Structures are given as C-alpha cells and as structure tokens.
Structure 1
Amino acid sequence: MTSRRQRRAPDAEWVLMYRKGLTPARIAGLVKASPALVTYHLSIAREQDPELRVVHEAAAGERPARVTGRTMQQMNDLLAMVQAEGRYPSSRAGGAAERALASWLQRRRRDAAEGRLAPAVRDGLACLPGWQDGHRAAINEERWQQRLAELTAYRAAGQDWPRHKKTVTDTEHDLGVWLHTQRYKLRRGELDPAKETALNAAVPGWSAGRTRGRKARPSPDSGGGPGLDWSCE
C-alpha cells in the first residue's frame, strides 16, 4: 500500500479539505502529517488551480491579512537586511529593529502555513528562496548565540573552561558539549568564520581550553563543593 507521503502531489483528499475551508495546519492535524508536507501539496494545487485560494477563503469566511503601509515597509526592510547581510533577523538580536523584523517574519511564516498570507507580501517575499524554510536555521542560530552568551557568563563568574566529560553539573555538561563541538568544527575547518570571530571576541582562548595540571574551580551551581576530575579533553 502506498503511503500518503509517497503519493504524487497534490494529495486529492487534502485539496478537498482545503476547498472546504480547512487551514493547512488543521488538515495536518487531522491526517497526522507534517504541516510542511501539507503546505507543499497545497502550494502545488494552487499553482495548478489559481482559483483554489479564492474557493478556500470563501468557504472559510476568511480573507488574507490586510496589507498596510507599515507591513510593506517591514517587508522591504527585511529584503534589504537579507540582501545586505546574507541572513535572516534574529529574535535575540541586540537591536530592537532587528528583533521586530524577526517577529514580523515569524508571523508571515505562520500566515503562509495557514494559507492566509496576503498576495502582495507573498509575491514580495518570493525573491527570497526558501524563506519559509529558514525557521529551523533561525532557531539553530538563536540557540548558538544563547550558548555563547551562557559560556561568556560562565567564564565571567570565574569558572574554568567547561568539560564535556566527567562534569560536576548539568550546566557544565551542556556548555562543555557545545564548546567541544565548536573546537571539533574548528579543527576540521567547518566552523563558520563569523562564529569563530564571535568566540574569539567573547571568550578568548576558547580553542585551547584548559591548561594541563590546572585544578578546576567549583561550579556556581555545585553548592561550592570541590571539582571532580579536571583532566583535559
């Protein structure tokens, strides 16, 4: 029996549900499929039938989000940023303007997944290949920046470089595994140069790590107890 995932897109059942006014997210929940897969099928269906979106909106009693001058300005700001910096905005950025753009983009991705993205915005963002697929990359980037901030604070508290083995606390373990990964990527020439620069600026000496024979200080969340094995990585 051929699974739904293996069927040729668009899936007729999903298209029928969409015609009846169900959003892609609702369809995905009902058929136990990923929202991305349902959205992919429906995007093909809309290309084949330009009237499909109108039928869906009429059945759902919905209209795409209203396009305001502010919306168009934010879209243009996003396009300019991506073109200039080669990346999408981060919700953890230091500047309020970039955080606002990240929030705006997240809402547009949600609108697109639910079939409510205004045509003017959809057409404007079409020049950014894979802009809807950048969500996971954005999450990974935010997680990386968060780990860097945590490591910076850990070192500023007077702690030695965190280990990834034989650790005292969960905090040391999490940071140690992350730092070990960055060193591994650096040795293999796989670390993003921008990330290497950020590490060098925030925590100088990160690539060398502990000096053999140096005892470890107690970690902040270890209750002040003595450190365990301090062997080098």
Structure 2
Amino acid sequence: MEPILRTENLTIKFGGQTAVDNVNFEVPEKHFKSIIGPNGAGKTTFFNLISGELKATSGDVFFRGESLSGKSSVARTRKGIGRSFQITNVFPNLTVIENVRLAVQSKEKIRYQFFRHFASYKDLHIQAERLLEIVLLTSKANAFATQLSHGEKRKLEIAMLLALDTEVLLLDEPTAGMSLEEVPAILDVIKQIKQTGERTILLIEHKMDMIMDLSDSIMVLFNGRLLADGTPKEIMDNETVQHAYLGGLYDEHLA
C-alpha cells in the first residue's frame, strides 16, 4: 500500500551546511510517528520542507504518491498537510467558537457576508462545536481568544488546523512554552485526535514519556541524517541512538 506521505532523498543546504541530508522516510495512513533527535538535528527544518515553508535543495516530498515539488505551503495545506501553529488568522477579539467557525468556513470556501447573522451559519457552527470537543475547549467556546492561556491558545490553533480538514498533522513541539500544569491538557488533546483514527500524525517532541506513550513508530534524526526508524522499543534498544544522544561518535555505523 502506498504510504500517505514519504520523502525521497530530501536534502536542504544553507551555504556550506547540510541541514537535512538525503532523508528517505515514509508513514502509513492514520499512523502516529514521532521524530526525535538532539538540538540541531534538523527536525524542524525537515517539517518545514514537508510543509513547503522551505524549498529543498534536492529530493522530493510525495503525498498520496503525488510529488509536491514546487507547491507552496498553502497549496500543500489544501492538499491535506497541516503544519501546527502556522495558522496566523486567529482573531484575538473574536470568541473561540467564532475563530474555529471562520476556519471551517474557509475550508468550505464560503465567503463571509457582512450583514448575514452568524446564526444562519448553523452547519458551520455545529462543525466548530465538534472540533472544540476534540481539543477540549468546549467550556471556553464563548471566551475571547485574548483571554486564553498559552496552552489554550495552542488548543485553539490545533482546532483551526483540524477545521481545514488536513489528513496529515505536523505537530512541532506542541508543549513548548507551556507550564507543567498545562502539559497534561495538550497531551489529552493529542490522544483524543489519535483515538478518532481519522488522521496521520507526525510529532516533534522532547518529552520521551509522551513519545513512548503515543507513538506507533519513531524516527531519529542526527546531524540532518536519518539515524534510525522503528517501533518505540526498537529505538530505545538501539545502541547507535543511545550513542547519538550521549554525544558519542556514530559515523562508523553509517559508513
């Protein structure tokens, strides 16, 4: 079966430095894959190449077998690849439910009519309510976005991403900047999304307990190269991965 997403010799160079180096990977549909690696391993750059925010020096990204070469980040989102927290059209002075409804409306390509009362958009409102249930923000539906905590804003951004009906979610350190008290809530949201079984998820995260709990498989990047890819147990038992995280030399394993 064709993977929903794969890369072929994906590479990007900045001057004389290779940030992502000939990475070949694939992920099946409705699979949860985490991406780990030390700081500077190229994880976020890899996401940026998949989402189209950066242009590859060489290689390609394929979505459902179709090359995405030359397609913008907007075009890739429309295809079905959503990058977390890249949604910038959050209206701080609108309520949470209104923000999500507008995202749903954007996906449905329904133009906003200034003199039309929001109640007439009943179907869109129902969809927005369902998404707020998934991200556990129902109780904040009528709060203004400016009133949300940092963690709640992340939930809102995920809801807006889901509203675009993306099939693949790229979640880049969703717990970054959160207080310890907020982390369990975002973890519950990600679990909720996984349990729906509707989407493929790629996660970059440093919290290993979170990764081990959620992941179907884990890939490891080191110095821009794919070091390992396997089940959580295979990765944790991999001596090369252990050496990489401990700062050991591993070049001989990649020869």
Could you tell me the TM-score, scaled by structure 1's length? 0.25
* Greater fraction helix: 1
* Greater fraction strand: 2
Q: Which has the higher contact order (CA 8 A, sep 6+)?
A: 2
Instruction: Pick the structure with greater CA Rg.
Output: 1
